[in-house]
Structure 1
Amino acid sequence: MDAQKVDMFIMTNAKYFEGHQLTFIRERLLELDDSHWMLLSTTSFQDPSTNLIISVIAGSFGVDRFLIGQVGLGIAKLLTCGGLGIWAIVDWFLIMKLTKEKNLEKIQKYMY
Structure 2
Amino acid sequence: MDTLKVDVFMDLYGHYFLEKDIRSVRLMLNAAHNDLYPMLFSIDFKAPGKVLFLSLFLGVCGIDRFYIGDTSMGIFKLLTGGGFGIVLFIDWFTISKVTRERNYDKFLACLY
AA matched with 1:60: V
Residue 7 of structure 2 is aligned to residue 24 of structure 1? no
Query: What RMSD, in angstroms, separates the aligned Cα atoms of the two structures?
Result: 1.0
- Per-residue deviation at 1:42? 2.6
1:22-42, Cα deviation, whole Å (9 max, x unpaired): 100000011111111111123
Distance 1:67 1:38 in 2: 24
Runs of 4+ residues over 3 Å off in structure 1? none
Distance 2:24 2:111 in 1: 11
- Per-residue deviation at 1:87? 1.3
Distance 1:88 1:40 in 2: 32
Distance 2:56 2:75 in 1: 17
Distance 2:46 2:69 in 1: 11
Gaps of 5+ in 2: none
Q: What is the 5 A alignment of 1:31-110?
A: 31-110=31-110
AA matched with 1:98: V
Q: TM-score, normalised by structure 1?
A: 0.94
Distance 1:94 1:63 in 2: 15
User: What is the number of equivalent residue pairs in this alignment?
Assistant: 112
- Per-residue deviation at 1:69? 1.2
- Per-residue deviation at 1:58? 0.6
Gaps of 5+ in 1: none
Q: Residue 80 of structure 1: SS of its match in structure 2? A: helix
Distance 1:64 1:24 in 2: 27
- Per-residue deviation at 1:94? 1.0
Distance 2:43 2:95 in 1: 21
Q: TM-score, normalised by structure 2?
A: 0.94
Distance 2:74 2:96 in 1: 16
Distance 2:44 2:72 in 1: 24
